[in-house]
Amino acid sequence: MNQAILIVLLLFLCTGVASADPAPSSTPSLSALSVPGSTEQPAATFGRDLYYKDEGVVSGPRAPRPSMGDYPRLLGESRLVIWIVAQQHRYWVAFVLGTLLMVTLLEVWTLTRPRHQRAIAYDMLAREWLDLVILAISVAAIFGGLLLLGFLALYPDLTVYLMTVFRPVFLVFGLLLLPFTILSYLYSITWHRWSGGWLKWLHAALGILVNVIGAMLALLGNAWSSFMMSPAGVDASGRFLGNSWHVIHTALWNPFNVHRLAGQLLCASAVLAIHAVYRTMSAATDEEKAHYDWMGAVTCGVLVSALITMPFGGYWLMREIYAYRQQMGITLLGGLLAWLGLVLVTAMGILFFSINYYLWQRIASVGGAWSLGWATKWVFGILALCMVVYITPHTMVMTPLELKNMGGQQHQVLGNYGVESAKSAAVNLMILVTAWSFVLWRFCRNSVPNDRTRRLLQLIAVGFLVAGTNILLLGIYGYYLPANVRVGLSVPMVGTTFTVVLIGVALTSQCISRGHEHHPEWGALSTRGSFSLLAISFLVIWIMGLGGYRRSAVRLFWHVNEIMKDESPWAFTHTTGFAVNMISLNALVFLLGCAGMLWLAKAGLPRRGVTETTTSRSEAETH
């Protein structure tokens, strides 16, 4: 119902905008060229694309220039209302799309490996997650509708302008919403009905189709955000030049898409981890506890996999932002929003600590595996050193007296940590250490450690050691290179990390898939371990809010960068403290929503997942 209202609203608006004639230009642009046409036809006006630099026929009005009085003041500071609603919408959409992707991947995986020990268990796990998605779709749609209404009510000029530019995009978006919703429900209700023979493949195909439509919706939604940051397809005065692909495919669209795809997986796995922890801690039986403990481990695995890509995705996004407008890059990394960047990397550092803590709690929960306990001090020691480097700012917060004592803006010893070369090495090493903890945990689950597995572990350890040394040396080498060459060092660093992590994890999985794995440890995780998983989830959700705010706030006083100014009374940038409070509020509101959703799921779907999974496991073991 909610989706239907939203679709009708979107289509109505698009139709309305489409029927409106583009407003004639009041003053001709300097870049616009008049081409003499026939006497019957009005002369077409051409404009130069702001980004693509080619010419196109002017097909829309100029970007409006509203005055302060043109902004309705219905709910106090309108920006805060939009901020909250947009962030909630973003969270819920990320959860829906991320979970759907995980569900379909699991389903396809089980289909291609029907004889695998855990095939049926994974299939049922996917089914359980899908139930949550169906609940969340409605919430996402409600926030989507509220966001649209909020924009129309509070920022009418901007909304109408964007709808004019994005007219075809909105139409496609609205039309895609309907099949997405219907097919999602169909995907859910046919899970068991289409579980045999070729119907199962048909069901998986349906899942893939839902994901494709979901991805298209996400890409179109991202186009709006990236257009506001790096407009294209319009001329300098904001007039649409008739090429919708240019409007979508702006300078920052692709980095956004990649970054947000990983963000969706992160958000989904974070919420599912909360679900798992909640159900583990409230489990009535050992069987139930073991099931949700296992689910927590699976979600943590997905979370770590997605997280590993985030620093690189973020780096690419920043690089493209710099390349597009250095002014934006400076605002983010050295200017007004740099302190929030520092908060972001601090949260990232704590996140790596938490993940490693969780993994070592898992290792400790495996009987007889604590012979590896000696390694913990090195794991947390290396992480601490990396974090020290990662969070040291280029310019430190200090009193003038401290400045005088230091003798300059840069600290002689620690100032060098404030540059990209050191930070890039630090974050890569943190990823490497985390992957090593993961590999160790996987090995600990091997019930029959033999010479072969031990040799394999030694081989992987050597690989990690060589990779770590290489990253460290590259980080040091970066100080002896010009900046343009130095930035390029991130490629071999990332390459080293990815190669070793992928090979290490693949070798470990290969070893375990030979049938040595046992899983008696499920349910034995300490309470500290469960809480660390909760901390991981909260940090992920909080970091998402912070990253989103920085990306949006970098436009400063522009609605659409360099085209349409924000003339509202709220065009200023909030203080760091206020922004952090708002981000925390948004995270808390989302978590409250999640708590409601999980409560509903628990009340409405009592132990179905556990019963089915347990039955399936028994069947799998019997066969």
Residues 361-390 binding another protein (CB under 8 A) are 361, 364, 370, 373, 376-378, 380-381, 383-385, 387-389
Local structure of 177: helix, strand or coil: helix
Residue 98 C-alpha from the chain's centroid = 9
The nearest distance, CB 50 to another protein, in angstroms, is: 11
CB 548, CB 87: distance < 8 Å = yes
User: Closest approach of Cβ 328 to another protein, in Å?
Assistant: 8
Q: How far is CA 532 from CA 354, 358, 380, 438, in A?
A: 6, 6, 15, 15
In 3D space, the residue among 132, 67, 146 whose CA is nearest the CA of residue 102 turns out to be 132
Closest CB to another protein among residues 408, 515: 408
Contact pick of 71, 95, 417, 549 for another protein (by CB under 8 A)? 417
* C-beta pairs of 570-575 under 8 Å, 24+ apart in sequence: 570/77, 570/78, 570/79, 570/80, 573/336, 573/337
Instruction: List binders of another protein among 465-484 (CB under 8 A).
Output: 476, 479-484
Of 81 and 535, which has the nearer Cβ to another protein?
A: 535
Assigned token pair, 150: 């909020």
Binding residue count for another protein, defined by CB under 8 A: 83
In the complex with another protein, the residue whose CB is nearer, 319 or 602, is 319
Which residues within the stretch 27-46 sit at the binding site for another protein (CB under 8 A)?
A: none
Cα separation, 279 vs 529, whole angstroms: 14
Q: Does 573 bind another protein (CB under 8 A)?
A: yes
Residue 177, token pair as written in the block: 């919403």
Report phi then psi at 34, rounded to 5: -90, 130
Interface positions, 194-223, toward another protein (CB under 8 A) = none
Q: What angle do CA 218, 316, 413 make, to 5 degrees?
A: 140
- Contacting another protein (CB under 8 A), which of 422, 439, 457, 474? 422
Tokens 């008696």 locate to 520
Closest contact distance (angstroms) between CB of 245 and another protein is 20
Nearer residue to another protein within complex by CB, 348 or 511: 348
Looking up tokens 């979370």 gives 303
Binding of another protein at residue 58 (CB under 8 A)?
Answer: no
Is residue 491 at the binding interface for another protein, with CB under 8 A as the rule? Answer: no
387-416 binders of another protein (CB under 8 A): 387-389, 391-392, 394-403, 405-414, 416
Does position 253 interact with another protein (CB under 8 A)? The reply is no
- The 3-state DSSP class for residue 446 equals strand
Contact between 208 and 104 (Cβ < 8 Å): yes
- Pairing of β 564-565 and β 558-560: antiparallel
Q: Identify which of residues 82 and 332 has a Cβ nearer to another protein in the complex.
A: 332
Angstrom distance (rounded) from CA 346 to CA 238: 39
Please name every residue paired with 558 in a beta bridge, in sequence order, or none if there are none. Answer: 565
CB of 536 to another protein, least distance (A): 13
Site for another protein in 541-560 (CB under 8 A): 556
The type of residue at 552 is S
Which residue has tokens 């795809």? 261
User: What is the rounded CA–CA span in Å between residue 221 and residue 214?
Assistant: 10
Smallest gap from Cβ 584 to another protein, in A, equals: 19
- Nearer to another protein among residue 363 and residue 456 (C-beta): 363
Determine the Cα–Cα distance for residues 223 and 507; give it in Å rounded to an integer. 39
When the beta carbons of 123 and 235 are compared against another protein, the nearer one is 235
**Alpha-carbon distances of 186 from 191, 192, 375, rounded to whole Å:** 8, 11, 49
User: In whole angstroms, how close is the CB of 583 to another protein at the nearest point?
Assistant: 17
Name residue, tokens 């990397």: 345
301/335 with CB nearer another protein? 335
Buried b (16+ CB within 10 A) or exposed e, 84-123: bbbbbbbbbbbbbbbbbbbbbbbbbbbeeeeeeebbbbbb
Task: Give the nearer residue to another protein in terms of CB position, either 72 or 334.
Answer: 334
Closest C-alpha among 563, 489, 83, 533 to residue 281: 533
Q: Are 461 and 440 in contact (CB under 8 A)?
A: no
Locus of tokens 């970054």:
259
Q: Which is nearer to another protein, 179 or 381 (CB)?
A: 381
Instruction: State the sign of the Cα–Cα–Cα–Cα dihedral 434, 435, 437, 442.
Output: positive
DSSP state letters, 84-101:
HHHHHHHHHHHHHHHHHH
Which part of the chain contacts another protein (CB under 8 A), choosing from 270-278, 285-293, 353-361, 504-512? 353-361
Evaluate whether 430 touches 353 at the Cβ level (below 8 Å).
Answer: no
Q: Of 497-536, which residues contact another protein (CB under 8 A)?
A: 526, 528
| Shortest Cβ 62–another protein spacing (Å) | 17
Half-sphere exposure of 119 (CA within 13 A, CB side): 14
- Nearer to another protein by Cβ, of 172 and 414: the residue is 414
Using a 10 angstrom Cβ sphere, with 0-12 exposed, 13-18 middle and 19 or more buried, the burial of residue 131 is middle
Instruction: Kindly tell me which of 137 and 379 has the beta carbon lying closer to another protein.
Output: 379
What residues between 320 and 339 interact with another protein by CB under 8 A? 322-323, 325-331, 333-336, 338-339
Nearer to another protein, 195 or 395 (CB): 395
Binding mask 298-317 for another protein (x = CB under 8 A): --------------------
* Minimum distance, C-beta of residue 329 to another protein, in the bound complex (Å): 7
Measure the CA–CA gap between 308 and 301, rounded to whole angstroms. 11
**Nearer residue to another protein within complex by CB, 290 or 554:** 554
Task: Pick the closer one to another protein by CB: 335 or 449.
Answer: 335
Residues between 75 and 114 that touch another protein (CB under 8 A): none
Rounded least distance, CB 250 to another protein, Å: 14
Q: How far is the CB of 524 from another protein (least distance, A)?
A: 10
Q: Which range binds another protein by CB under 8 A, 227-235, 354-362, 541-549, 582-590? A: 354-362
| Cα-only R_g, the chain | 26
Asked if 360 touches another protein (CB under 8 A), the answer is: yes
